[in-house]
Amino acid sequence: MLISAEWLQGLILSCLVLAAVAPLVLLLLWVRDWRQQGLW
Amino acid sequence: MSSAYALTPQLGLTLVVLFGAGWIAFGYWLGRSNRSHEDFALAGRQVGLALAAATAMATWVTSNTTLVAPQLTYQFGVWGMVGYSFAALGLLLFAPLAKRIKQLMPGGYTAGDFVRSRYGKPAWYLFLVISAVYALAWLVSLGMAGGILLQALSGLDYHLGMTAILVICVGYTLFGGFKAVIATDFVQAVIIIIGVVVVAGLLLTQVSVTSVHEQLTQQHPQLLDLLFPAAIMFLFNNIFFGLGEIFHSNVWWTRALSFKSQVGAKAFVLGGLLWLPIPIVTGFIALAAPQLGIFPPSADMVGPMVAAAVLGKVGAVVVFVVVFSALASSLDSLLAASADLLTRDVYQQQLRPQANDQQLLKVNRYSIVALGILTWLLCLPQLATLGALLNFAGAFVASTIMPIILGLYQPKLTGSYATAAMLLGTCAGLVGYLLIGFYVAALLSCLISSSICMIGVIRSRSRFDWQLLQQRQD
């Protein structure tokens, strides 16, 4: 049973979008912690 | 020869020198505020959510995800990359454990502290052996990956790349301690994610998923097969391997102990979610290899070779920066955590119980250098592929999953059963590794170990007093 082209494309594109958002999440959290003087 | 590589040897060397100088200077700057051994080893136990989540994610992005995930996708197809992404379960499931660890032993230093206090010395000795095997296998695979990366991209000698990454990581960990490890992890996490997204995004502008699918259907249909037996075994094996790696390793325990009380669980959940898509994105790069006519001499070179072939010099530089960051973010963590184990569990517990804070700090630094030298010596002969080396350790670490979970939550499991579970589980995993294949080692190890733990819980009449954990740390 082979994975279809649509499923493969959906899998790869959704992961690409998730990965693209990740740096923004980290940077926003960093700014929040830094403003609260809570980096460490 | 240099024309066969995406980067010239000079450019490769320049990147190494620039990166090395930058990370070491950053580590030195961060290390100025370290006053005590606790500052050096655990960053003062007050790490906030941003740095905590980034270090969890970046440390778990290793040679596994940037070199081995493409390698396994090249060998096992779709299940190779999906199987690797399931390793995110390790981070997600460690979240509640991290909270529990901080509650039970807020003053603890290492995973060894827990095993010794909870199960006694025989289990502790065995646990240290398992930790040592795993740490060395991971350290060696990371050092080797550095050499392979430089060789694949610029034609520089393997030994030069391997030596460079070890010197750089030992340098900034030595100067900055755990603060340097987690601060560089944050920067490296952002670099890794952006780099992977850029490479995969640009690859998609040249090679469509549909055309990759078409090509694979005709020439390598097994790579798209959802019922590829070896790949399905690999999927389950990888889940247990990932759980074993995270649950037992001091790399993650030091993080749990160094994060602020309310931060640990959230950081591991966020780190896991951020990590989840990375193996699939990097795996796609390998799936495109046959269509591009790339058939690497060694499967673990497939990722860098595809990116370099498709994106030319800029792509090769991006891959270089990403993989170098991924390797460094894990190597520094492993050096720091293993040095903590040597300092706390070997030096302080076995050799000098009365050692003062400054002596511990000094021994911790010596340990980092010693581990760096040992890793370098073991990396000199390039003996195994990265995947094979890591999966050998799977037989060891998967045996610790249940003893750790039950040790944290179930007071009825005793030290003798925990010891038997780790010992027999490891033996079963090694037998599976040798007789069947690497893709069953962790599975068998966890199965046997869990069975023994369950028998232990059913038969036990004693109950562990959780207060003892705190008292024994004090």
Question: Which residue in A12, A34, A36 is closest to B209 by CB distance?
Answer: A12
Residues 6+ apart with CB under 8 A from A3: B78, B224, B226
Window 270-299 of B, Cβ < 8 Å to A: 270, 274, 276-278, 280-281, 284
Residues B253 and B267: their CA atoms lie apart, in Å, by 13
CA B168 vs. chain centroid, Å, equals 18
Residues B278 and A2: their CA atoms lie apart, in Å, by 23
Q: Looking at chain A, which residue has its C-alpha nearest residue B182?
A: A40
Contact B364, B37 (CB under 8 A): yes
Residues of chain A contacting residue B85, judged by C-beta atoms under 8 Å apart:
15
Closest CA to B39 of B364, B381, B459: B364
Closest CA to B148 of B384, B331, B367, B359: B384
Closest CA to B166 of B141, B130, B191: B141
Residues B285 and B294: their CA atoms lie apart, in Å, by 11
Residues of chain B contacting residue A12, judged by C-beta atoms under 8 Å apart:
200, 209, 280-281, 284
Can you read off the two tokens belonging to residue B33?
A: 């505020």
Closest CA to B260 of A11, A39, A36, A35: A39
Which pLDDT score, from 0 to 100, does residue B323 have? 80
Give me the residue label for tokens 């003087």.
A37
Which pLDDT score, from 0 to 100, does residue B66 have? 65
Helix (H, G, I), strand (E, B) or coil at B225: strand
Window 195-214 of B, Cβ < 8 Å to A: 196-197, 200-201, 204, 209-210, 212-214
Query: Which one of B212, B274, B322 would you mutate to disrupt binding with A, by most A Cβ within 10 Å of its Cβ?
Result: B274
Q: Which residues of chain A have pLDDT under 70?
A: none
Residues B201 and B182: their CA atoms lie apart, in Å, by 28
Which pLDDT score, from 0 to 100, does residue B217 have? 87
Q: Beta-strand (E) ranges in B107-226? A: none
CATH homologous superfamily of domain B2-383? Sodium/glucose cotransporter (1.20.1730.10)
Q: Which neighbouring-strand residues pair with B47?
A: B259
pLDDT in tens, chain B (474 residues): 345 677 888 888 899 999 899 999 999 999 998 989 999 999 999 999 999 999 999 888 875 566 667 777 777 788 878 888 888 999 999 999 999 999 999 989 999 999 999 999 999 999 999 999 999 988 998 898 888 878 877 888 999 999 999 999 999 999 999 999 999 999 988 988 998 898 888 888 888 889 888 888 888 888 888 877 777 777 787 788 889 999 999 999 999 999 998 999 999 999 999 999 998 988 888 788 777 777 776 666 777 777 777 777 787 788 788 888 888 888 999 999 999 999 999 999 999 999 999 999 999 999 999 999 999 999 998 776 656 667 788 899 999 999 999 999 999 999 999 999 999 999 999 999 999 887 788 999 999 999 999 999 999 999 999 998 887 776
Which pLDDT score, from 0 to 100, does residue B159 have? 93
Question: Which residue in B48, B193, B204 is closest to A39 by CB distance?
Answer: B48
A12 touches chain B (CB under 8 A): yes
DSSP-assigned states of every residue in B291-334: TTT---SSGGGHHHHHHHHHHHHHHHHHHHHHHHHHHHHHHHHH
The domain segmentation of chain B, as residue ranges, is 2-383
Window 18-37 of A, Cβ < 8 Å to B: 18-20, 22-23, 25-27, 29-30, 32-34, 36
Which pLDDT score, from 0 to 100, does residue B308 have? 74
Residues B67 and B119: their CA atoms lie apart, in Å, by 37
Which pLDDT score, from 0 to 100, does residue B2 have? 40
**Shortest Cα–Cα distance, A20 to chain B (Å):** 6
A7 touches chain B (CB under 8 A): no
